[in-house]
Structure 1
Amino acid sequence: MSEALFVVNAGSSSIKFKLYRVAGDDIELMIGGAVDGIGTRPRLRAKDGSGTVLIERSFPVAEVSNASQAQHVLGDWVIGQIQDVSVIGIGHRVVHGGPIYAAPVLVDDAVMKTLETFIPLAPLHQLSNLEPIRVLRQRRPDLPQVACFDTAFHRGHPELSDRFALPRALYDEGVRRYGFHGLSYEYVSQALRTIAPELADKRVIIAHLGSGASVCALHGGRSIETTMGFTALDGLPMGTRSGSLDPGVVLHLIEQKGMSPAEVGHMLYHESGLLGLSGISNDVRALLESDRPEAAMALDFFSLRVAQAFASLSVSLGGVDALVFTAGVGENAHQVRRSVVERLHWTGVSLDDEANLRNAGRIDAEGSRAAIFVVPTDEERMIGQHTLRLLRTSSLTEPVAAL
């Protein structure tokens, strides 16, 4: 009987999952899917490694109204799919590791308590990340679980990149720039070693553009600086999040508009970004399909900020050798990529329009000053690899029968 790893990537309204067969020091995809529409239109869907649909089933809202119920539904289904494998552990994406965790860690009671203290730093994500861990620890307390952190890839930044211009005591207490989307950046950085080994260790800037969005500068395959900071609100405008904001606006909303901190937080996390700018949708696809001027303005605003981030981070690197687009918008919205790169034309970079239109892997035009790539990200594979390495260095690899 072969060994397998289960990977969970939980969000506020969905739980993505993958089951990997362990193959020596690597992993092979067996099943991948998601429970989405949690609390609104719940649906479980999954495919095997070859793309064959295994299940696509909807549920009444009352049966899958929260992440805990979704994890139970998912676990019950997966049990029936793993008769020929023994699961040796579960890997989880956890957005915030705070100033404590700079690498994946085996989860125990103390770790869970610590991770719960970071919920205010990532309220949209951290609680959702921790709920499946809690459910699975209750369901299978003997099954080792590994937390893999989005912040970990950015640890080790130069102090200049980590600091805010605030009193040092706050920095010492942990008020600093952490950065996020690290699992995605780490995966893309590794992928570049196969796609473009001659560039992988050079000056690379990666844009993770999805519902959440950020940009990261890498040198030698390591994060040097990134647009997100203390929380996942910073940097680029996102689907519903504001991105960078004059802190005076927050003071104004509280002091002059009479909004409570909770009301301001809700607005900045849930009512801002592309949704707030357009008044139409937080979904780039819907905005691209719309003929309303507000949609075009929101997309222009987003593209401008991405281009500005590319330019700003090139200063930290002393130049740039490759630009990379990844995640849902970065991989699929050729209009957004074109709009971003056109704003960088003054730097000497240019697109091959035909390659960009078909979402090719490399989309720079001949003579472009920097290479431009589109690289699909795979956070779950990165989590699986981290989980396997950590379990292999521990004694907690006894297989268990079910989830």
Structure 2
Amino acid sequence: MEKYIKLTGEQFILVLNLGSSSLKFAIYHHKTMHRQWSGVIIGIGKSIGSMEVTDSHQYSALPKTEHYRNIEDAGTAIIHWLKKIKKYSLISAIGYRIVQGGADHRIPEIVSEKLLADLNALIFLAPNHLPGELSLINTFLLEFPDLKHVVCFDTNFHKDMPDHNKYYPLPAKYKDNGLIRYGFHGLSYEYIMHKLHQQHAFIDQKKIIIAHLGNGSSMAAVTFGKGFDTTMGISPMGGLVMSTRCGDLDPGAILFMLKQNDITPEELDVKLSYESGLIAIAGTGDMKELLNLSGDNQQAEAAIKLYCCQAKKFIAALAASIGGLDILIFTGGIGENSPEIRERICGEMDFMGLKIDRCLNLRKEKVISDQNSRVSVRVMATNEECMIAMHTKNILAPVVDDEPTYSSLSIAEKL
């Protein structure tokens, strides 16, 4: 007979965020949304990886070095870590970030057999993301089958874009089959807007561009508090040039590669996703390394210049799309942490009322715009894990907050 226990004490939400280069995880208090633990596993699939965990007092344990062969290994390592966290053993739900859910799956939803079947059928839309994300879900479903598992889609933020920004100029049959501009990094954009609403009473009246710059980079234009336009399209390969992704290409360039190199679409996908972008120009896609090399290395300087010039063009294009610009926000690993990249991008943008204060930028202040700049330029830390936890709580709120809930086993008892 299955054993049930009443969850009456503190309850927590586990968040799993599989990115392009890491697996982030966190535990949030279900009611207060206070983050109790956060961690990251890097080096998945490489000879040496590491796992680092930080508690709510910002104390970081020494990174644990290990060989993580695949996503399953990384997920299992988190499960083993959970065995040791007796105080936070009552996990009420697990929330996941999913990059792509197609046209029919945008808003957060509880994992079901039908949803998993639908996502498996959509792997062709995100072949570099969905397989790993589905593998992670399956790893935790097998370990914790009686918990609620909630998926949150990166495309949800962009679902209300107007038709002229959403659809490609292609025959209607392609649109009907799901070939549209979905946009990505939506959980990051949603978090930034959530924080802006907390800080400003009339933020919905502002025209905003959010630049999420990292290994994967994109921008979103926001007006009336909603996503209006974005740089990525049907896949996370489009838009700005990125660490290992090509960004926007002339369709003729893709046809050229297919015809001249006699390669399959799958091989082309690998080239455009993992062998293009900054790494193709300079041999590395790591922006810190590129900046360190740029003084003596022409290829590194060329890669940085291309990245920043493209960012300038997209800022101007998105501003034109929404008819002006009041606030420019830098976020993401590069956007938050690289004053030099921010300065290069904002340089010579006075023509559109955008100018940063070099001293404020170097001091890494939250507002870095010059006092005479018409555009407010800000730096904000994003937190996709927080948004996943909030969505997970909200989708379960009628059950968990209003009445006692039951689980077959707490994590502590199960393990």
Q: Fold-level match, TM-score > 0.5?
A: yes
Residue 69 (1) aligns with residue 107 (2): no
Report the AA paired with residue 217 of structure 2.
Answer: A
Structure 1 counterpart of 2:17, from 3, 9, 25: 9
Q: Which moved more, 1:253-262 or 1:365-374?
A: 253-262
- Does the CA-based 8 Å contact 1:363-1:374 persist in structure 2? yes
Q: 2:86, 2:369 → 1: CA distance?
A: 44
Gaps of 5+ in 1: none
Deviations 1:17-57 (A, max 9, x none): 0011123xx40010000122122212121010111123521
Structure 1 pair 334/202, CA: closer, same or farther in 2 (3 Å)? same
Structure 1 pair 192/86, CA: closer, same or farther in 2 (3 Å)? same
* Residue 174 of structure 1, CA deviation: 1.0
Q: Which moved more, 1:13-22 or 1:346-355?
A: 13-22
Q: Percent identity?
A: 33
Q: Which moved more, 1:36-45 or 1:204-213?
A: 36-45
Q: Which moved more, 1:284-293 or 1:11-20?
A: 11-20
Structure 2 equivalent of residue 360 of structure 1? 365
Q: 1:187, 1:11 → 2: CA distance?
A: 16
Structure 1 equivalent of residue 162 of structure 2? 158
Q: Which moved more, 1:127-136 or 1:143-152?
A: 127-136
Q: Please give the residue correspondences for 1:364-375 in structure 2 after superposition, counting only pairs within 5 Å.
A: 364-375=369-380
Cα RMSD (Å): 1.6
3-state DSSP of counterpart to 1:335: helix
Report the AA paired with residue 41 of structure 2.
Answer: V
Structure 1 equivalent of residue 310 of structure 2? 305
Q: 2:183, 2:257 → 1: CA distance?
A: 26
* Residue 102 of structure 1, CA deviation: 2.1
Structure 1 pair 195/362, CA: closer, same or farther in 2 (3 Å)? farther
Q: 1:343, 1:300 → 2: CA distance?
A: 14
Structure 2 equivalent of residue 243 of structure 1? 247
Deviations 1:331-359 (A, max 9, x none): 01111111111142221210011111122
Structure 1 equivalent of residue 410 of structure 2? 401
Q: 2:220, 2:86 → 1: CA distance?
A: 38
Structure 2 counterpart of 1:378, from 362, 376, 383: 383
Q: Please give the residue correspondences for 1:208-287 in structure 2 after superposition, counting only pairs within 5 Å.
A: 208-278=212-282, 280-287=283-290
* Residue 315 of structure 1, CA deviation: 1.3
Q: 1:201, 1:186 → 2: CA distance?
A: 16
Structure 2 equivalent of residue 28 of structure 1? 34
Q: Please give the residue correspondences for 1:53-64 in structure 2 after superposition, counting only pairs within 5 Å.
A: 53-59=60-66, 61=67, 64=68
Aligned length: 397
Q: 1:55, 1:104 → 2: CA distance?
A: 34
Residue 329 (1) aligns with residue 363 (2): no
Structure 2 equivalent of residue 174 of structure 1? 178
Residue 47 (1) aligns with residue 50 (2): no
Structure 1 equivalent of residue 139 of structure 2? 135
* Residue 398 of structure 1, CA deviation: 3.1
Q: 1:394, 1:156 → 2: CA distance?
A: 29
* Residue 323 of structure 1, CA deviation: 0.3
Q: 1:187, 1:5 → 2: CA distance?
A: 18
* Residue 13 of structure 1, CA deviation: 4.7
Report the AA paired with residue 7 of structure 1.
Answer: V
Residue 125 (1) aligns with residue 129 (2): yes
Structure 1 equivalent of residue 84 of structure 2? 80
Gaps of 5+ in 2: 1-8
3-state DSSP of counterpart to 1:8: strand
TM normalised by structure 1 equals 0.95
TM normalised by structure 2 equals 0.92
* Residue 258 of structure 1, CA deviation: 1.8
- Does the CA-based 8 Å contact 2:361-2:368 persist in structure 1? yes
- Does the CA-based 8 Å contact 1:203-1:218 persist in structure 2? yes
